[in-house]
Structures are given as C-alpha cells and as structure tokens.
Amino acid sequence: MAHELSAEQIQKALQGISVPPQPQIMVDLQMEQVMPSPDLRSIARLISQDPGLSGALLKIVNSPFFGLANRIASIQQAVNLLGCNTVINLINAQSIRGELSDETIVTLNRFWDTAQDVAMTCLTLAKRIGYQAADEAYTLGLFHNCGIPLMVKRFPNYMTVLEEAYYSASAERRVVDTENRLLNTNHAVVGYFTAKSWNLPLHLCEAIASHHNALALFRDDAGCDAQLKTLLAILKMAEHICESHRVLGNQHEDHEWRSIERLVLEYVGLSEYDFENLRESIRELGRV
C-alpha cells in the first residue's frame, strides 16, 4: 500500500542538498501528470532517467517518515511505495526550486547525458556478468557523478578543471587529485555527501566516494569488500563504454581506464576480447 505525504512533508524532507532536475524531464513529467489517468510506470521511467529527481525520491522514501527497516536503492520500488499523489507532489516541489540559465543547462547537459547512459550500461553489464542487485548498479551509474552539478554551481570554471583532471589522469594521478589541487575538494567527495543526504544505502555512498580511486582498491587484494569492488568494476566498464572521458573530460583517450583495465577485467573474469565484444554489443543496443 502506498504511503501518501503532504506537500508540506515533502518540502521538509527535501531540505538540504539539491541537484537540479533536467528541464525536459520536468516537462515530460508535468505533461504526464495532467493526463486523466497518470501512468505511474511512465512516471517512474522518467524519474529514473534524472539523478536529481531520483535522489529526491529516494531521500523521501528512506526518510524517518517511512521508517523502513532497510534503505532501498530501486527507483521503481520507491515510486510504488510513495504512490501517485506523493510522487506528483514531489515533481511539483522540484519544479519550483528555481529556473536554470541557458548557459547552465548547456553545461549540465554533459552531466545529464552521461548519467542516463552510464546507468543503463551499468544495468546491462550487471545482468551480463550475473550481479544479482542490478537495480543497485543502475542507481550507482545514475548517481556516481551527482557531485558535478554542485561543483558547477560553486566553481564557475569547474568544467575546465574537470577536463584538465581527465587529461592528467594516469596510474600516478587520479582524476580527483587535480580537483583537490585546484579547488581543495572534488566531485566524488561532494557526491558522497549528496548521496548520504539522500539517504542512499551506505555501500552506494562509499562507491560514489571511491569511483576515482579504483586503481588502489583493485590493487588491494584483502582490504576491500567484494560488493564494493563488483559495483566499481561495473561502473568503470560502463564509464569507458559510454566514453565519459569524451563527454565530461573532452579527451580523446580514456587515461583512467588504461590504468585500471587489466585489474578490472581480471576481477570480473573477462578477457580483453570478451570485453570488446561486450562493449560493441552494448553500443549497438544504444544505437538501436
């Protein structure tokens, strides 16, 4: 049975860190909610494409209002628990949080595009390698860079810094090292605290915090749990397949993947040949 919350309860639950929703998704959702009989499955599908809306949704469903025994990471499950009226109230609450400038929308399109693509690729990879919690892999793909919009808001030159970070990435220098040097913080740390504010399961928050520290984690045979390694392996493969280094980093080569490729593929039991075939098949699915 769905738990309905008032608009006032939703506003209270949403206080704190906020990632702006994608304007086109908001338009599509508002069109859906004015239909005579809004389709909850269509609404869930649209919300699951947007990190900001999905984060707000999971923050509410994992809040004390519901008192769930375990935090959930499935957007579809969250929509089912909240019900149509509460989800529509959530959409309306997010829609009045302020307009974005055209320049900001153009900048954040790079973030929104990669979030959707990486999330879907994580889901596909999780199923291909037999990872049971495929929904969690999708959620990690959607949220792994959720710190980027907040960094863009705080630092006007952030995307230039991020491009330099991708350019400088190597076995000796992580993407986040350049951000730390120039800005004294980085999008992985900001993303971790954003995910915590959304009440995401702790292991997903830790994966977000660690997603540019994969080399050290995969070199460590004993000190890292298998769940975290598997989620990060899926994520790093998905980022490479979706060419995040091009979209976010504006780089022709994926320097980070080059430094971790062998360790990641060994961990999931794929040869380079197997991975290339898998990558091509996923890209074909994306083009279709």
In this prediction, residue 91 has a pLDDT band, given cuts at 50, 70 and 90, of confident
Q: Kindly report the pTM of this predicted structure.
A: 0.84
Reported as a single tens digit per residue, the pLDDT across 112-156 is 989 999 999 999 999 999 998 899 999 999 999 999 999 998 898
pLDDT surpassing 60 at residue 245: yes
pLDDT surpassing 50 at residue 41: yes
Phi, psi of 268 (to 5 degrees): -90, -5
CATH of region 102-287: 1.10.3210.10
User: Domain limits of the chain?
Assistant: 7-95, 102-287
Per-residue model confidence (pLDDT) at position 288? 37
Reported as a single tens digit per residue, the pLDDT across 270-282 is 999 999 999 999 8
Q: Burial-class residue 73 by CB neighbours within 10 Å (0-12, 13-18, 19+).
A: buried
In this prediction, residue 242 has a pLDDT band, given cuts at 50, 70 and 90, of very high
- Whether residue 227 contacts residue 203, with contact meaning beta carbons closer than 8 Å, is answered with yes
Q: Tokens 């083009």 map to which residue?
A: 287
In this prediction, residue 12 has a pLDDT band, given cuts at 50, 70 and 90, of low
